[in-house]
Structure 1
C-alpha cells in the first residue's frame, strides 16, 4: 500500500508542471479540507490531470483490497494542504511538493516530491513554510466502511446477540437504559500534524444476554483533535444488550494501514475463547492482546480504555492509561 501511494505522489507531483491543472488542484485544496483525487482527475479537461485518472482508479481498488474493504467503498486517495498555515503561501507562483504521510507517527521526516521528480526530506518537528500537499487515504470514508466490516463480522460470529424478549414489566417501561457521553477529551490522539485530524472509534465489550462475549463498535467522528473538550451527548452503551451491569470501553484511533478484515478476525477469535463464568470478566485486555503488532506499520493506535462502566455510572471517568476522560450519565431512551 505504501508503494502504491508513493507512485501516485510522484505522478501527481510531475503533473503539476501543467499550470492549468496546478491551478485546479490549488483551488480544490483551498476550497475543502480533503480533495477526492479520482473525482478531481475525472472532472478536469487538463491533459495532465486526465492522464492520472487510470492510475488513481487502479490505486484506489488496490488500497481498498489491502484494507480489507469491499470494492464498493469507492475512491480512497485524497489530497490536502499539509497544514492550515500553508494557505498564505499557496499562490500561483508556487508549485507545491507532494508528500505521502509517514506510516510511523514518530517519524522525524517525511519524503516530498517536487515537479521534477526530486525527493526532499521534510522535518516533521515543525510545519514547513513551503506549501506542500499530503497524499493519503480518506480515513473518514475507510473508517466508516471498516466499522461496517467489523460490525458484520461481530454479527456473523454471534458477538452481537439480540437481547432476550422483554418481560411484561420491561415491555411496560417502553424503552431501555443507556449510558450517554456528555463530554470527552483525549490528551494525545496519536496523530502528528502531517496526518491531519484523527478518526476515533470505541469498542464496547461485555457479556450479551446469551452469556457470550459481545462487542459493539461506536463511531466518534467528532473527536478530531487532542486537547479539545467535545460535548457529543452520544449514546455509548445500550444496557438492554448486556447480561451484567458492567461493560468495558476501548478507544482507538484509525490509521491509514488498518486492515479491517484482519482486525475483525483477530478480535472475534480472541473473544470467542472467553466464556461466561457466572460473574463479570473485563474484556479490555482480550481486545488489546488480539490486535497484532503490525499487519502494516501504521495500525490502529490504542488511545484509552475504561473498565467496569456500570449502568448507574455518572460524572467524570478518567481512562485507565491517563490519556483521556469522559463524563457520563444514565439516560433512558423512550420508545414511541
Structure 2
C-alpha cells in the first residue's frame, strides 16, 4: 500500500476544531530572542531558546540561588521556571519562550510556564547547598547519540563544556521543558482530535443490553524499556501508548490514548497494574499498541491529525473489513509507522516500540515489542458488576 500523505476530511475537521491552540506572534518571539531562527525545526528553536534562557538565568544566580536551594530537596529536584522567579528582561524572555513553545508543540494557550529548572542529579544537592558554585546547562539539539559536550554557564557568563556522557561533579541546573505538563496537555489535545475526527461511537451492544454486563479488559502488569545509556542531562522519559483497532459497530478505526506517567526511566521494571485496553471498544477482540515518547520536537496537534488521517484513509481503502478480519489492524499500525518521519526513529524523538495483534483474554509474559525496545506483561481482567 502506498504511503498516504493527503489530509483526510475527518483530520481536517479535527484540526480546524482546535481553536484554542496557542499562536504566538513571530515578532514577539523575535523581540525576546533576536538570534532565534523561527524557520528552523521546532526542536532547534526550542534548543536555541533554552540556551539563551540558561545563559541569562546563570547571571541571576547570585540573586535567586538561595531561593532555589531552599525549594529543592532530595525528593524534589525540579522547580517550575516561571516569570515571577526571575527579574528584568529574563522574565519576558521566559514568558515568550513558553508561549512560543506551546505554539510549536500544538498546545493550548495558557499562562502556565512549560519550562522547569532541574538539578541534574541528587548527588549534587549537598555540594550545592554546602556552597559549591552551580552551573546552568541545557540539552543540545538532535540525536543524543551524537552529543559530545553539554554547554553550561556560570554566574559570570563564562561558558563551560561538560562531557555529555560523564556526570559532572560540579552541581548543574538544567533548563528544560516540563515534560509531564507538556505531555498531559498534549494527550488531551490528541484525544480531542481523535474524538472530533471519528465522532461519537454508537453505544456498544453490551451497554445496550444492560449496565450490569461484565467489562473485559487487559491489565499492564509489568513494563520495561531497554536501557539506552542516555546522557546525564536527559530528563525523565515521558511515555504514552496509542491503542489502535477497529470499531465493533462501524467500519472505522479506533485510536485510544494511554497515559503512563510512572514510566520515567529506562532499564527499570515497573509494575503499574494499569488497565490499558477496554475490549468492548475493539472488533475481533484484537488491537495493536504503539509506545511513543514526548520530545521537544513533538507537535501533538500535528501528530494526532496525521495518525487520524492515516488510519481513516486505510480503512476507506479496504472494501470489506470483515473479509480480512483482525489482519486489518497491523495494516493500520504499519501505515502509522510508515507515516512517521525518519527522525522519529532516532534516539531523540517520538517512536519507542509497537506491539502487534494483542488478543482479548490472552496472557502475555515478558512479551517483547517488534522493535526490541520494550517488554511488557499483560493479564486479562474481567470486571464484574456490583
**Is the TM value for this pair above 0.5?**
yes
Q: 2:360 aligns with which of 271, 295, 311?
A: 311
**Counterpart residue number, 1:71:** 109
How big is each residue's C-alpha offset from its partner over 1:36-77, in whole Å with a ceiling of 9 and x where there is no partner?
A: 110xx52x6xxxx33233322222111111111001372111
Q: CA deviation at 1:310?
A: 0.3
Instruction: Show the counterpart of 2:164.
Output: 124
Matches of 1:301 and 1:168 in 2, distance apart?
Answer: 36
Q: Is the 8 A contact 2:362 2:379 kept in 1?
A: yes
Match runs of 1:180-259 below 5 Å: 180-188=219-227, 191-209=230-248, 210-259=250-299
Match of 2:338 among 285, 289, 306: 289
Q: Distance in 1 between matches of 2:347 and 2:95?
A: 23
CA RMSD of aligned residues (A): 2.3
Gaps of 5+ in 1: none
Shift of 1:168: 8.5
Pair 1:25-2:75 in alignment: no
More displaced stretch, 132-141 vs 190-199: 190-199
Tell me how far apart the structure 1 counterparts of residues 118 and 375 of structure 2 sit (CA, whole Å): 31
Q: Choose 75-84 or 286-295, whichever is displaced more.
A: 286-295
Deviation at 1:309, TM superposition (A): 0.1
1:334 corresponds in structure 2 to 384
1:97 aligns with 2:141: no
More moved, 197-206 vs 208-217: 208-217
Runs ≥4 residues deviating over 6 A: none
Match of 1:3 in 2: 48
- Partners of 1:320 and 1:298 lie apart in 2 by 17
Cα distance 1:318–1:170, how it changes in 2: closer, same or farther (>3 A)? farther
Structure in which a larger fraction of residues adopt helix: 2
Structure 2 residue 228 is matched with structure 1 residue 178: no
Asked if the contact 2:47/2:140 (under 8 Å) is kept, the reply is no
Equivalent position of 1:274 in the other structure: 314
- Identify if the C-alpha distance between structure 1 residues 190 and 254 changes in structure 2 by more than 3 Å, giving closer, same or farther: farther
Change (3 A) 1:332 1:191: farther
Report the number of matched residues.
325
Q: Please list the CA deviations of residues 241-298 of structure 1 after superposition, one character each: whole Å capped at 9, or x if unmatched.
A: 1122210011122112211111112211211111153222213222222222459x98
Q: Which residue of 2 aligns with 1:302?
A: 351
- Tell me if structure 2 keeps the 8 A contact 1:64–1:73: no
| 1:191 Cα deviation from its structure 2 partner | 4.7
Q: 1:74 to 1:169 in 2, by over 3 A?
A: closer
How does the TM-score come out when normalised to structure 1?
0.89
TM-score where L is the length of structure 2: 0.78
| Higher mean displacement: 199-208 or 279-288 | 279-288
